[in-house]
Structure 1
């Protein structure tokens, strides 16, 4: 795995996206002393198949689940932008709101969902995921580093530009680097277990997770018995 960043920002569409995609890697980073911030574009109020609660109740529940999940992997700072779940678009407003947090956090690495559709993994290519990925990439470059972009961030809020040097993309095609999460796999499972409204019985999910992570490790050339999370690393010029 690449060097651990001092500060990292994980930008996702929904509560639980980070835990499925990169919570093991985040656990490695926080264990090594990194400061990691989670930013969710929506509250996840459209998640689940039951209609027994209204949207505001579901959103509040899922925000709390995400905070508990984040704590399992050492993340204390969890932020929500409150955009409508299921209707996310890569608008200038969303770009500005992500760029704002980038300038506040000043991360060396940003983790984003892939803006590309992966035809081999349609669930990973949820429209909200792709919209969040597109907006986050545009917020990284050029918005967050450009003093002329969203001028209110600088002139009204005092947030100086910040150039993110590296982005790690999850849930897309052509991963080229892997985090060995074997030692922290149980923390990833604990984070996912916090999403009780979405996961249900974690005992049923855990074997599937282990199978997926083992397949990733095999692709990475890691020894048998190891588990890994995949990313595509992107250096920003």
Structure 2
């Protein structure tokens, strides 16, 4: 298996970014469960604490702490133990220099084969995928992937601290507008794991049964759109080659 095939199908290291706790679990947790079961090292970086989320006044005091705990529990269900938080305010995320620097730092620390992120473009087919924080996450990660993380002069203080510039091979987006989706990962058999991870975010689900039914329907629809046989489930991604055999540095 060539390096390019290894990176796309079964990478060695994956770094996943999200705007809020639970975003990853809705968008990509079944694929992640498959990767970790195959021995892939997966790390999460959550940009906000999700402190503006939830539906219960009872959870409001200490909600940021609760949502961190929920995310760690959800991550463990799909085999992820490395979870970090940038602590940006929920609802006000922007692709600022501070945010991009924090993202570049994590990329250079983990040095992943695949960076997985929310998408920077708005989806009109299901606008809930396009919370402003989601779009800001996608934009900040994209700016970090190219050119900041691979430019030793972008954040020289990181280079001086031993966090060397690094070329990311592949950028995968979840929550993409449907016309951009070009990779459908068969996650049949991992549905229950995904739903357990989503349900671990108990503060976010006033109607668990309806949520679980809707998620199963989305997975089945993804599989149909991806050309998988009837009865299969899939997660959908927009995959972009950043530094591969087909790309040219600087263009």
TM-score, with normalisation over the residues of structure 1?
0.96
Distance between the aligned counterparts of 1:51 and 1:139, measured in 2? 37
Gaps of 5+ in 1: none
What is the aligned partner in structure 1 of residue 110 from structure 2?
105
Aligned: 1:144 with 2:149: yes
What is the aligned partner in structure 1 of residue 46 from structure 2?
40
Residue 52 of structure 1, CA deviation: 3.8
Distance between the aligned counterparts of 1:199 and 1:186, measured in 2? 17
- Secondary structure of 1:183's counterpart equals coil
Which of the residues 77, 82, 90 maps onto 2:87?
82
Say which is worse superposed, 165-174 or 29-38, in terms of deviation.
165-174
What is the aligned partner in structure 2 of residue 176 from structure 1?
182
State whether residues 114 and 129 of structure 1, in contact with CA within 8 Å, keep that contact through their aligned partners in structure 2. Answer: yes
Distance between the aligned counterparts of 1:202 and 1:39, measured in 2? 25
Aligned: 1:60 with 2:70: no
Render the CA deviation track for 1:76-113: whole Å, top value 9, x for unaligned: 00000000000000001111100000000000001111
Aligned: 1:162 with 2:166: yes
Residue 202 of structure 1, CA deviation: 2.9
What is the aligned partner in structure 2 of residue 118 from structure 1?
123
Distance between the aligned counterparts of 2:59 and 2:207, measured in 1? 20
Which of the residues 221, 231, 237 maps onto 1:231?
237
Which of the residues 197, 203, 213 maps onto 2:203?
197
TM-score, with normalisation over the residues of structure 2?
0.91
CA RMSD of aligned residues (A): 1.3
Distance between the aligned counterparts of 2:81 and 2:40, measured in 1? 12
- Secondary structure of 1:29's counterpart equals helix
Gaps of 5+ in 2: none
